[in-house]
Chains A and B, each alone.
Chain A
Amino acid sequence: MIEFKNFSAGYTDHFVIQNINCRLVSGKIYALIGPNAAGKTTLLRSLIGDIPRSGGEITIDGQNIKLFSARDLAKKVSYAPPEINPAFNYSVSEFVTMGRFAVNRAFWETDEDIEEAANALITMDLADVADKAVAELSSGQKQSCLLAQIIAKNTDIILLDEPAAHLDIKHRADFFRKILSLKKNADKSIIITFHDLNDAINAADSFMLLKEGRLTACKEKDGITGGMLSELYGTEVLISEFPDGRKAVLPRFARAENTI
């Protein structure tokens, strides 16, 4: 369980996020949404201690993360950035196995480390490209690598920063299918920032609405209305539901003369 208490963070010149208060439970996918520059990435990176805290606190299972060492925090929380551009030719299997570094820091990996990494590669369909360099992969495969590394790490909390930003519709579907099964099988709390609200409304269980660094709402999916999203983004948005339960979030492009 993650709890934010009056949490503020950011660099000294200005606070990027302010007075966040909310409680996140395990076994759920949270969609962190809001306009550009609302502070979504900052909020995620605060959870891995990558952004200087300026007030309040975050607790994980009741313990203040300020008191965690880098390694202990990494054993609880994983984070994947929107994209990676590796500087060197690390192979996919090397990259994924690195996830075990948080668990075992000896000079050589144990058999368990190697097994976990191999399983993660299989889960993410990367076994075929295990010996390729990460830098040579497609955006979708890079995102899979990041997730495989996180699966190899096996933490309770997973933070994904716009994971689908560079994926086409098929890879997006595959990717979120895997996230959903991860949630179901392993009882993780997963926080994802979304660019595309259609993905958010179909994948997430709960929503965190962030505007100008403040959390304006933290609600179950069913509590989210078109009106709330319209206000959050400052443009008219409609949520519609299809007979099979899927939902769509639609902005209005054309000027709607009739309704006014």
Chain B
Amino acid sequence: MRGRKDLLLILTGAAIAGAAVFCLSLYLGPEGLSMPGDEILRLRIMRALCGAGTGAALAAAGVAYQTVLANPLADPYLLGSSSGAAAGIAALSFFGVSRAGLIFPLTAGLCSCLTVAAVLKIAGRSFSKKNIILSGVAVNLFLSAAVIFMVSIRKKEFFSVMYFMMGDLGETRLSLIAAALMIAAAGSLFLFAKSRFLNALAAGKTLSRQLGCDWKKESLAALAAASVITGAAVSISGTIGFIGLMAPHIARKFVGSDVRFLMPAAAVSGAALLMISDFAAKNILFPQEIPVGVITSMLGAPFFLWIYKK
């Protein structure tokens, strides 16, 4: 059995890898490695912070969703969790609430909780793999339509909302980033502390019961935490697909499925994956920019099919 020492080893390795990608994203630009000017460096720090935070949060939520539902296809995006959060934020903007402080991430978290609850309710008691994904997709489509409806009434924010729906790491308001990342960190720590419960839940309803885990209570708590984390991530970066699907699977290849090791490894994979995707989004057509969600979906959709076929 692995223990504290292994976790320390994994954490050290992950921290080094994460820091390397973070630094690279600061000094690597369209002209190659260089020392950027003060303003550009600050801009890149903000962007890397957004990318790393959002990526890690989505990956942590992905680990929780996959483990609790014992479903390797689960992901904040496919479960409708992200769209729920996005719809909440679109509604807040629609009613003219200013984008600051805790209200945005918290509302997004709440909407994301409600959406996941609805998706699971629609999918039915059995929680079968396909049912959950199908009802997630249906709820996703409904919420995207609802957002477009709201945009149609207020024509002005069309571009912003379109980018929001496809993911955008251009947020620079520190207060918003700090508030959202704090919520995401709190939620992730809660899930990490519950690692062994999540392991038990991964065995399914009946087996988790025989392991002494109150299945209903613990899975509700974990799903709620994962949804709040997703909401926080969406409130700064919009809906970015498939990071929460890919990062846990990549991490599993290295550290196995035990959530105590998987959670930190997946968080770092998610952070790195999103920073790299954003680098591509910024530089493929430089100086034109494409929404980062386009890149992650182009990577993630084939990945999804691969997991699905496996």
Interface residues of A (CB under 8 A from B): 45, 48-50, 69-71, 73-75, 77-81, 84, 86-91, 93-94, 97-99, 101-102, 105, 107-109, 114, 117
Q: Within 8 Å of chain A (Cβ to Cβ): is B89?
A: no
CB distance from A232 to the nearest CB of B (A): 26
B252 touches A74 (CB 8 A): no
Contacts of A97 in B (CB 8 A): 1
> CB within 8 A of B257: which of A70, A90, A109?
A90
Q: Within 8 Å of chain A (Cβ to Cβ): is B295?
A: no
CB distance from B61 to the nearest CB of A (A): 16
Q: Within 8 Å of chain A (Cβ to Cβ): is B282?
A: no
Interface size class of B (residues with CB under 8 A): 20 to 34
A107 touches B3 (CB 8 A): no
B210 touches A74 (CB 8 A): yes
Q: Within 8 Å of chain A (Cβ to Cβ): is B72?
A: yes
B1 touches A117 (CB 8 A): yes
Q: Within 8 Å of chain A (Cβ to Cβ): is B203?
A: yes
A78 touches B210 (CB 8 A): yes
Known contacts: A48-B209, A101-B196. The answer to whether A90 contacts B1 by CB under 8 A is: no
B212 touches A73 (CB 8 A): yes
CB distance from A127 to the nearest CB of B (A): 13
- With A93-B1, A97-B1 known, 9 other A-B pairs at CB within 8 A are A74-B211, A79-B207, A90-B199, A94-B257, A98-B199, A99-B211, A107-B193, A107-B195, A117-B1
Contacts of A73 in B (CB 8 A): 212
7 A-B pairs with the lowest CB-CB distances in the bound complex, closest first: A74-B212, A102-B212, A88-B257, A70-B214, A71-B212, A87-B70, A79-B210
Complex alpha-carbon distance, A69 and B210, angstroms: 12
CB distance from B106 to the nearest CB of A (A): 28
Contacts of B212 in A (CB 8 A): 70-71, 73-75, 101-102, 105
Q: Within 8 Å of chain A (Cβ to Cβ): is B260?
A: yes
Complex alpha-carbon distance, A70 and B211, angstroms: 9
Contacts of A90 in B (CB 8 A): 199, 202, 256-258
B206 touches A79 (CB 8 A): yes
> CB within 8 A of B206: which of A45, A91, A107?
A45
A89 touches B1 (CB 8 A): no
CB distance from A3 to the nearest CB of B (A): 21
Q: Within 8 Å of chain A (Cβ to Cβ): is B205?
A: yes
Complex alpha-carbon distance, A162 and B87, angstroms: 48
Contacts of B204 in A (CB 8 A): 84
> CB within 8 A of A94: which of B1, B4, B70?
B1
Within 8 A of A (CB), among B1-35: 1, 3-4
